Amino acid sequence: MVRWAVVATAPGGLSTREPDPQAKEGDYKGTVIPGPLPVNSLPVLYWFAEDPVAAQSVAGARSSLALNGSFYDDVEGQRRGVTSLNYPKPKMKFKANSGKQFDLFPNAPRMGQLKLNSLYFELGELSFMKEYVASRVRSTFSFDFV
């Protein structure tokens, strides 16, 4: 992850900063330099937290996310669910700050929250999508009952 902010100062001490932290857009602009990934058509969510243990707690912590070419800074990430609090892999919820909502899909409204589900035992420590992907699988078989 690469984050940046630009500060311009004029003679006499007048200065401005982009992004403006007072505008609730996050403290920084940013991007992700992805490493090698398997070739597939599934989107990849990049999640960065200064304190990953706190970010996976019920209280949560501030995080940064990158998804579909957009970077979201100052996102509230927290563990979610009641019955799933003891799952080995937590279910997570991310809330966008009020200035920028998640742009998840083309031609779809922006969303203020992003929720990731996991099963009690799910193969792969990086995937939260197996439940979702499995629900989208369509059978290619047809049956005729006589």
State mean pLDDT over 46-50.
88
Exposure letters 83-107 (e unless 16+ CB within 10 A, then b): eeeeeebbbbbbbbbeebbbbeeee
Task: Label residue 145 by pLDDT band (50, 70, 90).
Answer: very low
Confidence (pTM): 0.69
Q: Of the ranges 21-25, 72-76, 86-90, 127-131, which is most confident?
A: 72-76
The sign of the CA dihedral 44, 54, 111, 119 is positive
